[in-house]
Structure 1
Amino acid sequence: MKIMTKQISLTILILMVISCGEKKKNVDAVVHEKPNIIFIMSDDHAYQAISTYSNHLIQTPNIDRIGKEGIVFTNACVSNSICAPSRATILTGKHTHINGKVDNQMPFDTTQVTFPQIFQQAGYQTAMFGKLHFGNNPKGVDDFMILPGQGSYINPDFITKNGDTTRIEGYVTDVITDLTLDWLDKKRDTLKPFMLMYLHKAPHRPWWPRPDKFKEFLGKKFPEPASLFDDYKNRGTAAKTAEMNLLNDMMYNHDSKIRPAVTQRMKNLEPFVREYEGGFHNPYTNRVNEVQKAAYEPILDEINKDFEENWPSMTDEEKMKWKYQRYMQDYLACISSVDDNVGHVLDYLDESKLSDNTMVVYTSDQGFYLGEHGWFDKRFIYDESFKTPLLVRWPNRIKAGITSEEMVQNLDFAQTFLEAAQIEAPEDMQGESLMPLLTSNNGEWTRDAVYYHYYEYPAVHQVKRHYGIVTIDYKLAHFYYDVDEWELYDRKKDSQEMNNVYNDPTYSDIVVELKKKLEELRVQYKDSDELNQKYIDIHHANSIDSPLNKKG
C-alpha cells in the first residue's frame, strides 16, 4: 500500500507539472472539490433599481441572471446602513458595536480576524479589486488593487499591494472589471480554489456615468415615487430633521452636474444648498483628459442650458421634480454600467468552464433612497436603506429560480462563505450561515427577527442615532441621543412606512412583545446603553460633528 501511495503521489506530481506548462484555457477547466467564490458588491445600489426586484426604473439583465440561475432574497438587510460600517460587518461577521467600526470616521481595528484571512489560511487564494473604503492593506488578501477612500469615477487611482498609488485611465466600473478579469485569466493559480472580492464604487454619490451612458440616460424620464413630496406628519423628529431632501440638500454642482460658473452667474439661487468644496472640479474637471472631456462637455452643455434657462421660473414642486429626474438619470446610468460589467464576468466564468463550481454573490453595502420620502442617501432603519439586494448563484449546489422571504443580513455573509468552503467559522462571529436557505433546507432556519443600530450623528445628513428590531410583520425603532422617541410600523398594512403607530392602543401588545424581543437581541449581540454612551463619548472626543465632515 505504501508503494502504491508513493506511485500515485508521483503520478499526481507529474500531472501537476505538465498541467502548469499547458496553455491557460486548458487549465481553467480544473474542478476543485471546494467551490470558488466571487463576492460582487456595489455601493449604495438600491434594490428598487434591480429589475428582479422592481422593473419600473431600469432593466438589469445580467444581475437578474444571477437570481434566475440561483436564489433571490427579498428580505435581505443590513445591520447599520452606512458604507464603511457595513463593510466591516461583512468582513468580520460581527455587528458594528463589536467590531468597533460604528461610523465612517472610527478607525477599523486591523487586529481583528476577517473572513479573507481565514480563507487564505485554509489554502484559498484571495484577491480584492475595487472599493474597500477603509485602510490600504487588506489582511488575508494575496493580490489587490483598491481605491483610496471613496475613489474616483474618472481615471481612478488605485493602491497596489506594494503600497504604491497608480492612476489607471478609464471609467472606474470598467477598470475594476478589467483588473478582476485579468486576475482570473492570467494571474491566479488555477490549481487552487479562489475567494475573489469584486467591489464596485458605483453607484455611490456623486453618480458620474460613463459618457455613453450619460448621454443615453439624459433622454429618459422616470416615474416618481408616491412619497416624493412626503411631509413626515405621521413620523417622529428624526424624519423631519434629516438633511437628505432632494430639493433642499442635493447639491447643484456636486450632484446635479451644474457648472460652478453657472451657479455663480445665477445669483441668489433658491433654495440655497451648501456645496462641497471642489464638488464639481474634483470628480470631473481635475480628472478628465481631453478625449474624455470632449465626450462629456456636450452633455453637460445640455444640462446646464436647461437649468439656467428654466430653474428661475420653476415652482418648488417643479424644482423637486427636476432634481429627481437629474438624480435618476445619473444614478441609473451608473448602474447600467455595473450591470454590463457583471455580465462580462459571468460570461468569462461560462467560457472558462468555472460557472458550475463558483458561488457568485451580488449585493450592495446597503440600500438607498431613490426619491422615496423626498430623500436620497441611506442611514435610516426604513426599508429603502435598511434592505439590500442579495442574489446568489452556485449551480452545483443551488437550484435555479428560488426566492426566499426569510430575514437575512450582511452579518451572515462571512459564515455563509466559510461553510460553503467547508471551513470552520470562529465562534465569536455573530451571524448565521445561509447554507440551509441556499440548499433548500429551510426547516433548519429559525431566525424571526433582525437587529439594527445606526450611530453616525451628529454628522452629514443629520440622521439621528437609533436601534431597532425588524420582523416580517413589524418594525420597532428607538431614536436616542438628543431625543427619546419610539416608532412602530406595520409592514404588512403600511409598506411605505408612512404612519408611526407606536402610540396606537391597537398595537400596545405588539409593542410589549417587540420590546421584549428587542432586549433579548441586544443581550444576544452584546449591545447596551453603556456601549451607546461609549461611542457617543468617542464621537465627541474626535470632534466630528461638522455637518459636512464626511462624504459617506
Structure 2
Amino acid sequence: MKIVFSAFVVLMISIEAASGQPAAPRPNIIMIIGDDMRYDSFEPTGGPSWFDSPSINRIAYEGASFENYYCVYSLCTPSRSTMMTGLYAHSNGSIDGDTPYFPWLPTIATILDSAGYHTGMIGKFGVYFVPQPGWDYWMGRTKFANGEYLDPKFNVNGIVKTIEGNVTQIITDTTYRLVSEIDTPFFVCIGHQAPHQPAIALPASEGIYASEEMPVPANFFPYNSFYPSFLYANVPPLTETVIVSDLEKYFECLKDIDRNIEDIFDVLSDRNLLDNTLLMFTSDNGFLFGEHALKGKELPYDPSIKLPMFIRYPAWFNANTLVKIPMGLTVDIAPTLLEAAGVNEEPYHFQGLSLHKLANGELTRDKMLYENIKYADTTGKFRPSIRSIRSNNYKYNLYFCEELTEEFFDLEADPAENFNLIKDLQHADLINQYRYELDSMRIALKDTLAADNVLKPCYLVINRQIESINYVEDPFPVLDILSNPFKETITARFSTSSKGPVEIFVYNQLGQLMFSDKIMTENIGNRSTLNFDASYLPAGIYCLTARQNGKLCNEFIVKE
C-alpha cells in the first residue's frame, strides 16, 4: 500500500504543478449498513409519523434519497458480498448465507487501500470472521457471536475478544473513536447487527414506542390463488400480535442506530471534515412484516428487496435531492465509491453502475435482475431458487419448481403485489416479453451456474381453499362469497364458533381500505349470511378480509 500511495502522491504533485492549482482533497467515505432494514421506515421514505430519526433523515435531507433502490439478493451474506465486490452472487461466489465471496476478488477495501485510503471495518461483515485484505483496522463479528446482541465476541485485528454490553453500543463507541483518530482520506464501513431479529434495543430505547400504532400492513392476509406452494408450507403461525411486537423492537433498534449517526456528524463537524465526506446509509436487504401473511426475507416481493439509500455528499448532490428513476442496486455501491475516490473502475469489470452517474443521467437502467440461489435444500422446506426481473411498471418472478411456477405483477395498478396476473390472457404477450428479457439479462450478467438447476417439488397453487396447508393453527373456519362477481351488494357467509367481534375489511388493488365494519358473533350465529352495500365502489378487483381474535381469512371479489 505504501508504494502505491507514494506513487499516487507524486502523481498528484505533478498534476498540481502542471495546472497551477492545488488538487481538491479526496473525500472521506463512511458507509453505514443496517441489517434487514426496510425502505419505508424513515420520514423521507414515508415512515410512521411518530418515528423520529433526525440524524438518519439528515443524510437524506442534506443530500439525496433514492426512491427506487433494491438489493439483488435479499440475504445478509450474499448482499454484503455484492456491495463489497460489485458483482452478483452468482459471480462473486457468495451463493447463500454460509458462503463468502471468492477471496481473490478485489473489493472496495483492497482497491481504496491500494489507492492510499486508510480503511476501517466495524461490525458485521457476512461470514468472513477474521481480518480481510484491504482493512487497516478490523473489528468484525466472530462466527459464534454473529447473532448475539449482548456481550458479543469480536475479532479485533486478529484477536478474539468478548466485549461487555449491547452490540449496537459497542459499534457506536468504536466508530466514534475510529472516526475521531483515523487519518484522511479514509474509508470506514459500519455494519450494524440491528435491527436483525431477535432484536434487543439499548435501555434508552426499550419501550419508547409501546403506545404507538405499529404499521401492520393492509395486506396482512395470505395469497388466495396463484401463489407458489412453498410459501405457507411448514411455517409457524403468524399473528398480528407477533408482527406488532417485532415492529416495536425494530423501531427501537433503528433509534439506536440514529444515535450512532448523530455521533458521526458531531465528529466530522469537530474535525472540519463534514462537507468533504461522503456519508452513505443503506441496508443489506429488506424484510416482510406480515405482507401476504409472510415474515422474513429472500423472497422477491418489494418489502423484501426495496431498501433505503441516502447519500450526503455536497460535491454530488444538493440538499433535498430525490432520485426517482432510474433504479439503483446493491451491486452499484462499489463503482459509486470508486468514482467518489477518483479511482478508475474499468479494470475491475463491475456488474453495477455508479449511483451518481445514474442520478445525473449519464447512465440509465430500466430493469433489474433479482436472484436467490439454492443448490440443495436439506431443511425439508424445499425452497427453490428464484430469478426475477423488475421494471418500474412490472415484475416477473420465476421459481425453480418441478412444475412451472411464475408470478407477474402490475406494479402501477397493484404496488402491494396482491394479484398474480400470470394466467391473465390480457397480459400474455407482455408476460412472454418479460420471460424473454429475464433470459437475456441472465446471459448478459453471466448467470450460468451449472449447479443451480435443481428443481424443487413445488408448484403454483390455483386456489388456496382446496390446498391442504398448515397456514395457522385453528384458522378462521369459513368465509364464502355468494355474489362473485357482484354489482351493488356483497353477500358473504360466515361461520365461526369463536367469541368476539368479527372485523370486515374491503381493500382495493392498491391496498387502500375502502370499507370496514365490525359484527358481534352473537348476532351472526355459527353460520349466517350477511349483506354489505358496495354500490359506491367502482368496478374492479377487491379483497374482502375477515379478522377475529388475530386470525384472518380472505377472498378476492370482483365488481362488474
Normalised by the length of structure 1, the TM-score is: 0.74
Aligned with 2:151 (options 147, 155, 169): 155
Higher mean C-alpha displacement, 506-515 vs 356-365: 506-515
Contact 1:522–1:528, Cα closer than 8 Å, also in 2: yes
Query: 1:435 Cα shift?
Result: 2.0
Opposite residue 431 of structure 1, the aligned amino acid is G
Provide, for residues 16-73 of structure 1, a one-character-per-residue CA deviation record: whole Å limited to 9, x for no partner: xxxxxxxxxxxxxx99621111011011011122222123273322111111011111
Query: 1:103 Cα shift?
Result: 0.3
Query: 1:483 Cα shift?
Result: 4.2
| Bigger Rg over Cα | 2
- Find the counterpart in structure 2 of residue 105 from structure 1: 98
Question: What CA distance in whole angstroms lies between the structure 2 residues aligned with 1:115 and 1:512?
Answer: 38
- Find the counterpart in structure 1 of residue 369 from structure 2: 451
Aligned with 2:335 (options 408, 415, 429): 415
Question: What CA distance in whole angstroms lies between the structure 2 residues aligned with 1:85 and 1:223?
Answer: 28
Aligned with 2:260 (options 333, 341, 344): 341
Contact 2:408–2:422, Cα closer than 8 Å, also in 1: yes
- Find the counterpart in structure 2 of residue 139 from structure 1: 133
Aligned with 1:176 (options 171, 178, 183): 171
Question: What CA distance in whole angstroms lies between the structure 1 residues aligned with 2:152 and 2:437?
Answer: 46
SS at match of 1:241: coil
- Find the counterpart in structure 2 of residue 329 from structure 1: 248
Opposite residue 164 of structure 2, the aligned amino acid is E
Contact 1:38–1:360, Cα closer than 8 Å, also in 2: yes
Opposite residue 59 of structure 1, the aligned amino acid is D
Contact 1:241–1:462, Cα closer than 8 Å, also in 2: no
Change (3 A) 1:371 1:61: farther
Please report the RMSD computed on the Cα atoms of aligned residues, expressed in angstroms: 2.3
Whether 1:513 aligns to 2:507 is: no
Higher mean C-alpha displacement, 383-392 vs 326-335: 326-335
Contact 1:210–1:334, Cα closer than 8 Å, also in 2: yes
Query: 1:517 Cα shift?
Result: 1.6
Opposite residue 156 of structure 2, the aligned amino acid is T
- Find the counterpart in structure 2 of residue 215 from structure 1: 207
Whether 1:60 aligns to 2:56 is: no
Opposite residue 170 of structure 2, the aligned amino acid is V
SS at match of 1:52: helix
Q: Relative contact order, CA 8 A, sep 6+: which one is greater? A: 1
- Find the counterpart in structure 2 of residue 129 from structure 1: 122
Query: 1:518 Cα shift?
Result: 1.3
Contact 2:400–2:455, Cα closer than 8 Å, also in 1: no
Query: 1:490 Cα shift?
Result: 0.4
Contact 2:77–2:99, Cα closer than 8 Å, also in 1: no
Query: 1:211 Cα shift?
Result: 2.3
- Find the counterpart in structure 1 of residue 27 from structure 2: 35
Query: 1:234 Cα shift?
Result: 4.0
Opposite residue 413 of structure 1, the aligned amino acid is I
Contact 1:108–1:134, Cα closer than 8 Å, also in 2: no
Whether 1:499 aligns to 2:493 is: no
Question: What CA distance in whole angstroms lies between the structure 2 residues aligned with 1:201 and 1:507?
Answer: 42
Query: 1:482 Cα shift?
Result: 4.2
- Find the counterpart in structure 1 of residue 311 from structure 2: 392
Contact 1:50–1:64, Cα closer than 8 Å, also in 2: yes
Question: What CA distance in whole angstroms lies between the structure 2 residues aligned with 1:215 and 1:509?
Answer: 52
Normalised by the length of structure 2, the TM-score is: 0.73
Question: What CA distance in whole angstroms lies between the structure 2 residues aligned with 1:66 and 1:495?
Answer: 27
Contact 1:103–1:455, Cα closer than 8 Å, also in 2: yes
SS at match of 1:533: coil
- Find the counterpart in structure 2 of residue 382 from structure 1: 301
- Find the counterpart in structure 1 of residue 222 from structure 2: 230
Higher mean C-alpha displacement, 138-147 vs 369-378: 369-378
SS at match of 1:532: coil
Contact 1:238–1:479, Cα closer than 8 Å, also in 2: no
Question: What CA distance in whole angstroms lies between the structure 2 residues aligned with 1:463 and 1:387?
Answer: 21
Provide, for residues 270-329 of structure 1, a one-character-per-residue CA deviation record: whole Å limited to 9, x for no partner: xxxxxxxxxxxxxxxxxxxxxxxxxxxxxxxxxxxxxxxxxxxxxxxxxx2221221112
SS at match of 2:450: helix
Structure number with higher strand proportion: 2
Question: What CA distance in whole angstroms lies between the structure 2 residues aligned with 1:74 and 1:241?
Answer: 33
- Mapping for residues 534-545 of structure 1, pairs under 5 Å: none
Higher mean C-alpha displacement, 488-497 vs 477-486: 477-486
Query: 1:151 Cα shift?
Result: 4.3
- Find the counterpart in structure 2 of residue 70 from structure 1: 63
Provide, for residues 220-251 of structure 1, a one-character-per-residue CA deviation record: whole Å limited to 9, x for no partner: 432421111234434232434373x6x34xxx
SS at match of 2:227: coil
SS at match of 1:334: helix
- Find the counterpart in structure 1 of residue 357 from structure 2: 436
Contact 1:32–1:193, Cα closer than 8 Å, also in 2: no
Identity over aligned residues, as a percent?
30
Contact 2:106–2:348, Cα closer than 8 Å, also in 1: no
Opposite residue 195 of structure 2, the aligned amino acid is P
Question: What CA distance in whole angstroms lies between the structure 2 residues aligned with 1:333 and 1:482?
Answer: 42
Provide, for residues 108-145 of structure 1, a one-character-per-residue CA deviation record: whole Å limited to 9, x for no partner: 32121111100000111111111112111222000011
Question: What CA distance in whole angstroms lies between the structure 2 residues aligned with 1:74 and 1:239?
Answer: 28
Aligned residues: 429
Instruction: In structure 2, list runs of 5 or more residues that go unmatched.
Output: 1-9, 14-21, 457-560
Contact 2:282–2:310, Cα closer than 8 Å, also in 1: yes
